[in-house]
Amino acid sequence: MAKYRKPTQDLSATAKRTLEQTGEENFEQTVEQAIEETIEETIEETIEQTIEQPIEQIERTVEQMLGAVDNYFNFLQKTISSYPSGGTDLGEKLKSYAQQNIAATHEFVHKLSRAGDFYDIARIQTEFMQAQMSAFGEQAKTLGEASNKAVTDAMKPRTPFNPSS
- pLDDT tens string for the chain (165 positions)? 445 455 555 556 666 666 666 655 566 666 777 778 888 888 888 888 777 778 788 888 888 888 888 888 888 888 888 878 777 788 888 889 999 999 999 999 999 988 989 999 999 999 999 999 999 999 999 989 888 888 888 788 777 665 555
pTM of the prediction? 0.59
Residues 91 and 148 in one domain: yes
Q: Is residue 78 part of a domain?
A: no
Give the structural domain span for 35.
1-63
3-state secondary structure of 1: coil
Residues 105 and 154: beta-carbon distance below 8 Å: no
Q: Is residue 68 part of a domain?
A: no
Residues 54 and 100 in one domain: no
